[in-house]
Structure 1
Amino acid sequence: MLEGMERAMSKTYHLQQFTTATQTRNRTMRALNLVGKLAPAYMRPDANNLWRAAQKNSSLAGDIAPEPSKEAASALDHLVDSIGNSTSLNFVGRISAFDDSKRMARNHLRIQALIQSQPSILETVIPEPIFIIGMPRTGTTWLHTLLAQDPRHRTIPYWESYEPIPPSTGLDNRIERLVKMLKQLDQIAPNYQAIHPMTAESAEECVALFMNEFRTIQFDIQYRVPEYVLWLKSQDATVAYRGYLRQLKIIQHFRSSGERFILKDPAHAFNLRAIVEIFPNAKFIFTHRDPAQSLSSICSLYANTRSLFSDAVDAQSVGKEIINGYWPEGLEDAMRVRQSLPKNCYTDVRQTDLRTNPLHAVRRIYEDLNIGFDETAQSAINVFLNASAHSPHHRHEHSPEGFGLTAGVMRERLQGYVEDFDL
């Protein structure tokens, strides 16, 4: 784990305040999108074409012809319809939406085929899950990375979530394929990793697993798909979490390890009720940060991510969308569910405490959840912290004013939350 993080921190990234979608475009990106204007309908996602393309190389056994689950088929239908109706993808965006959706469809079909051929995999017992719950930009990634240093903990490296099933024959080159993709991201958006550093082998969010079910707000972060979001919010979240659990069992089946599963995806905050139902033995760590900082950073996350795929990204519109959107609403609902949880299955940590004294903050988390902070865990985290202190630090510039907001407006929107956690 430390080796992967060292590679992630070997380069310094500096992402400036977002102004327009084209502000950081290099010549290659500008040229590609200019060519794409000559073929405005080229490679627009189509659900039927995506499934057909994915089926060509998704079978794991000779006589098994995998088919999508009806839930995934419905979700992809709504997603591609919303992409077509609500976004103005540029050429790079159209290529990405098609290729990435095809990869996720292929993952889904391979999961279907695997379970059909080896149903006993669903009997796999996963380690006790601990979910990190918090809005994006509240210290969830930093906490996830710290907890991943404990050798007793099972996390999901990016390569494993990107392609959960190893090849049935030949070399397993999933890591190499992801490294290639991340290099392409660096070429397209040289400083994007200042927001969320990624390497193929470092612990990553659960989001890719939900993308294989086509049920996650990640698609809205990338493409702005409000119709899809409305549909997703109307759905039973346990459908997505049953598919998620199935993939966790597959991952554990092929690479069994760990006493606890440390799981992190900001969208978990929307779905606490589903998590409690599907994972009755789960424990939770809630992260908290001044909304003037977290919401401003979320605005930057959305604006910079969408600008990879579209030229029609307006900073002021993003600010209005975020302050009036699902993140404040979802956080408030998560806090209501938190109040109903047994006291011994959750704890809270502020982002400022994680940054100023990470070892103390982590030790308290272990104590609150009664999981035992031993010398092995302390030593591993100390080694990581020492290495991190001497590594380059990324700069991610953002401000409420850059998105047409103020710190006061952001704090007022979540005033009760600010007061409850002394933010």
Structure 2
Amino acid sequence: MSQSSPPVWTAPPQPDWLATVNTEGSYFNLAAVVPLDEDSLVSHARRMTGLSDFGGTSWLEPFRVLIKALEDEAQLTLMGRLMARNDVLLWLVTRLQVTDTLKRHPEILEEKIEAPMVITGLPRSGTSILFELLAQDPDVGVPLTWEAMMPCPPPEQSSYHNDPRIERAHQLATQWNRVAPAFASMHEMGGRIPSECGQLMVGTFISDQIAALHQTPGYSQWCAGADYLPVYQYHKTILQILQWKNPRQRWLLKAPEHQVHLDTLLEVYPDARIVQTHRDPIKCMASTTSLMGTLYSMRSDQPFNAALFENIIMGEATAQRLEHVMAQREAGLVPEASIIDSRYQDLMDTPMECIEAIYRHFQLTLTAVARERMLAYLKAKPQGQFGKHRYTVDEQRSRDRPLFRRYQQAYNVPNEI
């Protein structure tokens, strides 16, 4: 395959208040004012919780790789450093609390996570709308942003809808929209919004969600060679904590990154029901370029380098990602009974037929109540409710079309460009 050039993307204008704050911050010694070193972060997390045990040392190497990359590569603004420090402290605090909770209640690890439904696919391929639509089934449990962000103490059924963590999580999640208003048209945020699985994994310090926040090639490269089995085992532990005092009949989960770890996912969840979404990869790459660039611009003024996320933005690597799943299915590593394909076009044109096909494949019952709730959701949330996500498809992306011929033919994925 010939190498294509990275797409060109320009950051949207910053809000005036943010530009002013970051300009003033540029006169500070930012590393001293907002420290991101190990001693400061670890000692502060311990002081915040009164706890000291992080549960083994497997997290230490990726943690150290991350904070080094934040200092050496991310070129963080004042706001960027504040957001990064808050994130890392939150992840450290969560790890301390998870370890303490399991020590005091080892019975949590006996909780059964049976046949979770897992949505995955390329970013911007319709995973979010499908996730939110399937979540309308009252028999389904989804990790909401607030509980995924702050899972300890374990949520309780009696206070699940008025837990004080909801408001804090909501303000942290929607802060992204205040820092980069254009983001609101790309992805809905909020404390009660279903959370991607990346948020459940951040306590391991190995997660695509972490890599998506900053331009840190050193960290991304380290993660590319990491063993994800402990990451998925930690993911399962968080689900066990979340359902311990607030039972869920069956879990519904979602993350694009599952697509590159299906074998590991099935090792931890052998009965998982996988829904793989399909959309024109050229369209997905263009939309993802815009989304990733906007994420980076929240925390840094450095130019966007799309090549850092080649397997979701660059043609050759994206094609290889898609064909890798095809090869796993052909080899039987991902059994056909465990996976169903869902086209974005079908979800847009005939959403309920799309949902019915998923339920039939996994021999699930779509109840009248679930159907009514899904229809009400569709009526209440038209596409573009939060503004239209505008982006361009550069000439290079269009020239990548032949790379996806086999994939598009296999799943009958129409061109959108």
TM (norm. structure 1) is: 0.87
Residue 338 of structure 1, CA deviation: 3.0
Distance change (3 Å), C-alpha of 1:290 and 1:391: closer
Q: Look up the match of 1:33.
A: 22
Instruction: Show CA shifts across 1:59-102 (max 9, x none).
Output: 4xxxx632353111221011112222222111111111111101
Contact 1:18 1:304 in 2 (8 A): no
Tell me what 2:62 maps to.
75
CA drift of 1:388 comes to 2.1
Aligned to 1:285: 275
Q: Which of 220, 225, 238 is the aligned partner of 1:234?
A: 225
Deviates more, 1:127-136 or 1:239-248: 127-136
1: distance between equivalents of 2:306 and 2:112? 47
- Which one of 141, 146, 151 corresponds to residue 154 of structure 1? 141
Structure 1, residues 238-259: CA drift from partner, whole Å, max 9, x if none?
Answer: 011111111110011131122x
Residue 99 of structure 1 corresponds to 86
Of 371, 383, 387, which residue of structure 1 is paired with 2:376? 383
The code of the aligned residue for 2:267 comes to: E
Q: Aligned AA for 2:347? A: L
Relative distance call for 1:320 and 1:117 in structure 2 (3 A) is closer
Alignment counterpart, residue 313 of structure 1, candidates 298, 303, 307: 303
**Pick from 189, 203, 207: which aligns with 2:198?**
207
The question of whether the paired residues in 2 share the 8 Å contact of 1:146 and 1:381 is answered with yes
Aligned to 2:3: none
Query: What's 2:181 paired with?
Result: 190
* Mapping 1:102-141, distance limit 5 Å: 102-141=89-128
SS at match of 2:58: helix
RMSD: 2.5
1:323, 1:413 within 8 Å by CA — same for their partners in 2?
no
**What amino acid is aligned across from residue 408 of structure 2 in structure 1?**
V
C-alpha contact 2:154 2:241 (8 A) present in aligned 1: no
Q: 1:257 is matched by which residue type in structure 2? A: R
- 2:407 maps to a residue whose letter is Y
Alpha-carbon separation, structure 1, partners of 2:343 and 2:278: 5
CA distance in 1, matches of 2:154, 2:353: 42
Kindly tell me: are residues 127 and 317 of structure 1, through their superposed partners in 2, closer, same or farther at Cα, counting changes over 3 Å? closer
| Secondary structure, aligned partner of 1:395 | coil
Alpha-carbon deviation of 1:387?
1.8
More deviation in 146-155 or 70-79?
A: 70-79
Amino acid at match of 2:303: V
Aligned to 1:266: 256
Contact kept, 8 Å, 1:303 with 1:318, in 2: the verdict is: no
Within-5 A mapping of 1:209-224: 209-224=200-215
Report if the CA contact (8 A) 1:209-1:244 is conserved.
Answer: yes
Distance in 2 (CA, whole Å) between partners of 1:172 and 1:389 is 29
2:13 counterpart residue number: 24
- Work out whether residues 67 and 109 of structure 1, in 8 Å CA contact, stay in contact via their aligned partners in 2: yes
- Distance in 2 (CA, whole Å) between partners of 1:82 and 1:335 is 34
Matched, 1:407 2:394: no
Distance 1:50 1:331, change over 3 A: farther
Letter of the 1:312 counterpart = Q
| Native 8 Å contact 2:310 2:318 kept in 1 | no
Counterpart in the other structure of 1:361: 354
Distance in 2, Cα, partners of 1:172 & 1:265: 25
- Of residues 362, 366, 370 in structure 2, which corresponds to 1:373? 366
Q: Distance in 2 between matches of 1:276 and 1:168?
A: 27
Identify unmatched segments of 5+ residues in structure 2.
Answer: 1-6
* Structure 1 residues 34 and 80, CA gap change in structure 2 (3 angstroms): same
- Residue pair 2:69, 2:219 contacting (<8 A) in 1 also: yes
Aligned with 1:88 (options 63, 75, 79): 75
Letter of the 2:119 counterpart: I
Q: TM-score, normalised by structure 2?
A: 0.89
* Structure 1: gaps (5+ residues): 1-16
Structure 1 residue 385: deviation in Å? 1.6
Letter in 1 for 2:412: D
- AA aligned opposite 2:60: A
Closer, same or farther: CA 117–72 of 1 in aligned 2, 3 Å: same
For the residue of structure 2 that corresponds to 1:414, the secondary structure is helix
In structure 1, the residue corresponding to 2:59 is in which secondary structure? Answer: helix
Counterparts of 1:325 and 1:72, CA distance in 2: 32
State whether residues 166 and 172 of structure 1, in contact with CA within 8 Å, keep that contact through their aligned partners in structure 2.
Answer: no
Matches of 1:226 and 1:324, distance apart in 2: 19
Q: Which whole-Å deviations, capped at 9, do the CAs of 1:171-194 have from their partners, x for residues lacking one?
A: 941101112223433321223121
The whole-number CA distance in structure 2 between the counterparts of 1:244 and 1:266 is 15
Partner in structure 2 of residue 347 of structure 1: 340
Give the distance between the partners of 2:384 and 2:77, measured in 1 at CA: 36
Query: Alpha carbons of 1:279 and 1:320: their partners in 2 closer, same or farther (altered >3 Å)?
Result: closer
For residues 16-47 of structure 1, give each alpha carbon's deviation from its aligned partner in whole angstroms, at most 9, with x where no partner exists.
x99533x3211110111111211243424212
Q: What is the number of residues matched between the two proteins?
A: 398
CA separation in 1, counterparts of 2:263 and 2:13? 40
Does the alignment pair 1:163 with 2:150?
yes
